[in-house]
Amino acid sequence: METINLSAEIFLLLFCVGLVAGLIDSMAGGGGLIALPVLLFIGLPPQAALGTNKLGGSFGTLSASYNFIKKGRISFREALPGILFTFLGACAGAVTVQLLDPAFIEPLIPVLLLVVFFYTLLTKQLGLTDQQARMNSKLFYALFGLGLGFYDGFFGPGTGSFWTFGLMFLLGFNMIKATAYTKVMNFTSNFVALLWFMAGNNVCYSIGLTMAAGQVIGARIGSSLAIRKGAAIIRPLYLTIVLLTIGRLLYANISSG
């Protein structure tokens, strides 16, 4: 892709945006809602903005995942089936998006996210403590890994929200644990999508690595805050991010229509 000449002040801004995006994303998801508009604003074409955002996002989710693992909030052995199925699903989605227009799925996602939002809002106890699982974990990881991995590779917005809700509602995870496992799955699908954007020459490395540096720091701070503060800080952020994602998708649908 073409080189974009930016000032030192803009690179500092990108670092700060990455830090905030990593902070929010590690606790509630939705870091792309902060980072992507800035990448478009500085003049990156849409495909390059998406690819560059995946670069920063991969570093941020890796940093958050590592912090959650180090602090004992994730069992890698337990998460492994989800990682493998998410990897396969994301590969399939990234290949398919090269062949099909993802526009046909856009109107459906805000509706599903509204269901997630209102159920979480009205079910006050959801995610506060561990609950009885409603689904076998291996079946859950196979279905959600393939489905959400495919979706993230194919389209993406709201993936983390769906993961967190599914882990709480179907596997009975508390909100901290659900957030931790969501970061591992997000990293997997982000990394797969990043490889495809790199292959298509749609990543601006100087910009992406600058934001990645901020996202690594932000994700470390955010994941530590999530562990210390628990659902008291994650729940309102999670509901806010879901609502903002719905608004962004509805606006995009209205604008394109």
> What would the pLDDT profile of 125-176 be if each residue is shown by its tens digit?
888 888 999 999 999 999 999 999 998 888 777 888 899 999 999 999 999 9
Domain range annotation of the chain: 8-256
158: CB partners within 8 A, 6+ apart: 109, 112, 113, 242, 245, 249
- Give residue-wise pLDDT tens across range 13-47: 999 999 999 999 899 888 888 888 899 888 888 88
Which token pair is 58? 């991969």
pLDDT, average across residues 226-250: 88
pLDDT on residue 120: 87
pLDDT, average across residues 72-100: 88
Query: Worst-scoring range by mean pLDDT, 1-5, 51-55, 62-66?
Result: 1-5
At residue 2 the predicted structure's pLDDT band, cuts being 50, 70 and 90, is low
Query: What string of DSSP letters covers 55-112?
Result: HHHHHHHHHHHHHHHHTT---HHHHHHHHHHHHHHHHHHHHHTTTS-GGGGTTHHHHH
What's the whole-model pTM score? 0.88
Q: Which contiguous run of DSSP H or E holds residue 137? A: helix 137-154
